[in-house]
Amino acid sequence: MDRTWPDEPRLVTEKPRARSRAVLGRKVSGDQRMTAKAEMLETLRTMLRDVFRLRNDGVTYARLARAHGYVDGYMRALLESNVCEKSELLSLVAEERARVDGPATAEVASDPATVAA
């Protein structure tokens, strides 16, 4: 496992040690990047499920607002780091919302007598 922190604690007055170029300029392969992206999107899915569950459970506004804030911040970090595009995130949110709440629209059967009135 790569560690980037020092092995032993150092005093505040000491100068920081230079880290090796291998740690700072580490190349990431395409497979590792895709795995990391998949993990981040799965984390976002879990967070969204929690928000929708909290909303359906009727929790206090403060708790729901905090959960929304975490999701918003996570999504912003994904966008700003160019991990995902906006369209990807919107489709992911729509999928999770449909999974928890059902489809956004549904067919409604109406009684012909009611419609005529």
pLDDT at position 5 over 50: no
Segment 18-51, tens digit of pLDDT? 444 444 455 656 666 678 888 999 999 999 999 9
- Percent of the chain residues past pLDDT 90, beyond the cut: 48
Helix spans in 1-117 (H): 21-24, 30-57, 61-80, 86-101, 112-116
pLDDT at 106: 72
Query: Can you give the residue ranges of every domain in the chain?
Result: 28-100
- The per-residue pLDDT for range 82-115, each reduced to its tens digit, is 989 999 999 999 999 999 888 777 777 777 777 6
* pLDDT reported for residue 22: 44
As a whole number of angstroms, the distance between CA 33 and CA 30 comes to 5
The reported pTM is: 0.62
